[in-house]
Structure 1
């Protein structure tokens, strides 16, 4: 059961001046897929800050992406402790059976975005390198996965979620996601999300998402596939994070009264 929400918590739309703080949040809260492919990522905060700030600059002001942030008062300012990123896809009138990105962010930002400068990197510093076996394994399972339904089904997509480690367990992640679920319910549309390990468990147990059949994968510490039957029937746990593995799946949430058939499996709200 989550702890009570922190006093003074506010959820609002992200602003250009939030970019640097958002980047810091992502630096200190990497997802399981990133940690699996880049096991030393936490040792490179400056490089990752610059990388995250780069894509956040355009994302925060994109008319087709809406970023929500959870903030708490701290030292007279607002500290960002969580965020969620949303996109919406509508039927494409020019291509039957296809969707296009809808306008979701109706606020136009005109001020120049600023990001904090990172200290110069030492010349002798070794560049951040991926674990090749793990990265190749992730590329393989993504290539083998069925096409996402977002390309053909009008829907909302949760394409980013993070909560600062110090504030996990307070229900902040649920609050950020339920905002989008409410919007989707108003429009009578499903919500799709892709999660790994802890994220999949959270979406499923806390928010009522279901795993999309055929999109699940399990990898061991050597990047080798573990079959679903071995996981479910044989009790193989080499895919767990504590054992150096990784798992993931595409998830779907349906509003009340909505149902969708995905490759022969029916999902209902």
Structure 2
């Protein structure tokens, strides 16, 4: 296997990235909280998938979003196209790090109920009925508060790791480490911090790569906890 790392800006790869994310986060607590089984509509089983793939396509073309994917020219998806083996969604400092209303993958997110067909965010973007509005609002509020605590207001520049996913079929080959290290290297070059909201499963990886725990967010109703972590190259010098 010869893996290379590319910046993905082609929306046609969104489906492969989303598929990898789904496989990486089977039975994930955050997904269960945001997309609870009680809101699943059997008459529209693909509602969540359509929405999240559409949101991912928009993020791929955002100028300051760096979606770094691990691919292998010899490994194809079931349609013969490029298969994304893993990816990290890094954001440059200029891009809103949290509270931008776009769903997370390990994580991926609503507004307030507008009618019987879904919900509207403040900017009029409609979200599917399969998402829990109150959980999303609570999560966004916690993330916004944590960002202010972490980076100040106005926020000091920082790289933000929004999503990280590796296909279980290629786990243990160092892809996650390399995908995270890509952003760490950029942060060190820029002499600014990098931060992430970690799932419990990824804590050891981030700690090994130099992130430190800042705080645990209050648990969601199902007990799932996200941990705010920071890697600050300037602090390491002191």
Measured against the shorter chain, the TM-score band is 0.5 to 0.7
Do residues 19 (structure 1) and 27 (structure 2) align? no
Do residues 51 (structure 1) and 51 (structure 2) align? yes
Post-superposition CA distance 1:36-64 (Å, at most 9, x none):
44354999873332122111222111111
TM-score by length of 1: 0.60
Q: 1:202 to 1:47 in 2, by over 3 A?
A: farther
Give the match for residue 216 of structure 1: 216
Give the match for residue 235 of structure 1: none
Q: Is the 8 A contact 2:13 2:82 kept in 1?
A: no
Q: Is the 8 A contact 2:196 2:229 kept in 1?
A: yes
Q: Is the 8 A contact 2:34 2:136 kept in 1?
A: yes
Q: 1:173 to 1:183 in 2, by over 3 A?
A: same
Q: 1:249 to 1:178 in 2, by over 3 A?
A: same
Give the match for residue 183 of structure 1: 186
2:229 to 225, 230, 251: 251
Do residues 161 (structure 1) and 139 (structure 2) align? no
SS in 2 for 1:246: coil
Q: 1:32 to 1:169 in 2, by over 3 A?
A: farther
Whole-angstrom distance in 2 between the partners of 1:175 and 1:74 = 19
Whole-angstrom distance in 2 between the partners of 1:68 and 1:8 = 16
Q: Is the 8 A contact 2:65 2:89 kept in 1?
A: yes
Give the match for residue 75 of structure 2: 74
| Aligned positions of 1:81-92 closer than 5 A | 81-89=85-93
Which runs of structure 1 show a deviation greater than 4 angstroms over 4 or more consecutive aligned residues? 41-45, 129-132, 134-146
| Aligned positions of 1:170-209 closer than 5 A | 170-204=173-207, 206-209=208-211
Larger radius of gyration: 1
2:30 to 21, 28, 33: 33
Whole-angstrom distance in 1 between the partners of 2:131 and 2:11 = 30
Whole-angstrom distance in 1 between the partners of 2:200 and 2:53 = 25
RMSD, matched Cα: 3.3
Give the match for residue 263 of structure 1: none
Whole-angstrom distance in 2 between the partners of 1:209 and 1:35 = 26
Structure 2: unaligned runs, 5 residues or longer = 97-128
Q: Is the 8 A contact 1:11 1:69 kept in 2?
A: yes
Report how far residue 23 of structure 1 moved. Answer: 2.1
Report how far residue 128 of structure 1 moved. Answer: 3.4
